[in-house]
Amino acid sequence: MGARKSISALVIAALMAGLIIGFVFGLVLPTLVSSQSERVLAYEEVAALSAVEAAARIAAQHGVDSLEYGQAYDTLTKSEKYDGPGLAQSMPIETKEAWLSWMRANRGDSPAFLEQRWKLAHDFVESSELKRPEDVRAFLLASREHFVREQNRGLEYADTWLPIGYGATITDPDVVAMMTTTLNVNPEDRVLEIGTGSGYQAAILSYLTREVYTIEIIKPLFTETDILYRDLEKTFPSYGSIRRKLGDGYYGWEEYAPFDKILVTCSIDHVPTPLLKQLKTGGIMVLPLGPPGRQFIMEITKNVAPDGSITLTRRDVYNGLGVRFIPFRNEAGASYSASSEDS
């Protein structure tokens, strides 16, 4: 019989301790690190960590240049832009079956989300948050699943806002629908959006007009969404018609003014004077107006009298129902208020 080797209690204890340490570092620690990396950063945290560096890292990962404030993504000339409204008009929406058949034959959307998108759109038709056929078509063509960030997979068509990082959110789809319908966009309108965010709202607008202009102030978010558009426009060419700029939306985009319609997707307690100046006579601005705790979605129509005086017609589109949007901030991260308008 050969000799039996015995293992001392000390060695066994050391092995057990090694297994426990390995388990902690191999399973628990990565989970903690992952949860921290996916946690939504507040605007102030982003500023402290240097948004410039964050944007540069994102850009480097995707092989594109990191833009500086005031720079814009150049799109095609108006005559060369993809006819998103024309595509929308050709899409049947009389029945779900006809729409599904057309989408499967003509689009590159994931079939997994089509039924959810159809249901959500028709929920909003019933609630009158989508009214015009043009708006229904634009909503049905914009794939919300592409703009919801990775940490919220499974909630692509939930009727709620979702975090997209940097203290920003993708707006509730019902509010997006209501603001779109209120804006009443026509195919030849020039539309300015303040607050690109995830890119979802401008994607919808690109099926209503070929003249969409959008501004984002948070640099890493701008870079992320710009890269997303560049990737998506290979399959959805109307997104290539969206002209986007990194900068402070409070001052609008004077180079392309005046605008027929202006949509603001961050809250403020007054109507920004520079945006009002860039709105055409008879033009419509839609924005969440009110203090930080609660706002109201307002439709502002600009009227100019023969003597040159300007009057504004205001309408609360939800008839007293309050909403909450992230604040309208400047490049330093401070919220705009009526008292600081001219500072």
Q: Which two tokens stand for residue 165?
A: 């990082």
Strand, helix or coil at 257? coil
Question: Domain boundaries in the chain?
Answer: 43-337
**CATH superfamily of domain region 43-337:** Vaccinia Virus protein VP39 (3.40.50.150)
For residue 57, the one-letter residue type is: R
- Measured in whole angstroms, the distance separating CA 1 from the mean position of its chain's CA atoms is 76
**Rounded CA gap, 212 and 202, in Å?**
7
For residue 90, the one-letter residue type is: S
* pTM: predicted TM-score of the whole model, two decimal places: 0.80
Residue position matching structure tokens 């833009």? 67
pLDDT in tens, 298-333: 999 999 888 888 899 999 999 999 999 999 998 888
Distances (CA, A) of 255 to 72, 126, 151, 158, 252: 12, 40, 37, 38, 9
Strand, helix or coil at 189? coil
pLDDT in tens, 55-111: 566 666 555 555 666 667 767 777 788 999 999 999 999 999 999 999 999 999 999
